[in-house]
Amino acid sequence: MRSNWLENTVQIGDVFGVGLRYIGDTYADAQNTVPVKGYVLTDASNRYTYDSWRFQVAANNLFDRVYVGTCVLLAGYTGYSYGDGRRITGSVTTRW
């Protein structure tokens, strides 16, 4: 796994960030006979700070990439579970 995150201050109090998460090719079994393809996910966020308030919106898996998150090998059958789809969250925080 490898990840990188970049942030840029657009103007005072406004920060935009973008990141990439890379998960390389793996195998579902100990014998390395069932390959699982690697993937890259893109995340982004934007936050704005005003006085003691912070407003933030963040997106994980921004482009809604479909990927295999986990694999299970049981009694000769292989089961695949997809990873999380796009998730967008928001928050408002204050300091006092």
β-pair partners for 89: 58
β-pair partners for 19: 5, 43
* Top-confidence residue, 41 or 10: 41
Please give the tally of structural domains in the chain.
1
CA atoms of 93 and 96, how far apart (whole Å): 10
Average pLDDT over residues 82-89: 97
Domain residues for 61? 2-94
- For residue 92, pLDDT over 90 is answered with yes
Of 39, 34, 26, 38, nearest to 74 by C-alpha is 34
